[in-house]
């Protein structure tokens, strides 16, 4: 057993587990687990998410390796996450006004 495989005394890390249910499908977050090292995390993940053949494949990643991206630049000020964030009607009205035409029957 190499030094990298030995559990660190009293120290555990959190790992995120992603599973693929069937070949060709996207991986989905399955859960989190605590383990003293990568080898233990892999075995825990196999036991928790693979023993009943509910997973085709697993990804086990230390939480510290997962980076959050939360600053998205939206130069056109479109918000696709909100239903009212990207109003086609408003965009068409603006385009017509710039073109110098107006839509008849537009309310």
This prediction has a pTM of 0.57
pLDDT on residue 51? 76
Cβ contact 35:41 at 8 Å: yes
Closest by Cα among 67, 17, 11 to 41 = 17
Task: Give Cα 56 distance to the centre of its chain.
Answer: 19
Sheet holding 13-20, edge to edge: 28-35, 13-20, 57-62
Q: Which domains does the chain have, with CATH numbers?
A: 13-65 (3.10.20.520)
- Per-residue model confidence as pLDDT tens digits over 34-91: 999 999 999 999 998 887 777 889 999 999 999 888 876 666 666 665 555 556 777 7
Sign of CA dihedral 88, 93, 97, 100: positive
């Amino acid at each position: 057993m190499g030094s990298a495989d030995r559990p660190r005394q009293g120290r555990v890390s959190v790992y995120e587990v992603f599973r693929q249910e069937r070949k060709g499908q996207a991986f989905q977050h399955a859960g989190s687990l605590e383990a003293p090292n990568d080898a233990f995390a892999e075995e825990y993940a196999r036991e928790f998410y693979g023993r009943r053949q509910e997973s085709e494949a697993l990804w086990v990643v230390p939480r510290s390796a997962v980076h959050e991206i939360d600053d998205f630049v939206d130069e056109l000020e479109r918000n696709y996450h909100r239903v009212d964030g990207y109003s086609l009607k408003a965009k068409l009205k603006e385009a017509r006004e710039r073109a110098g035409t107006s839509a008849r029957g537009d309310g």
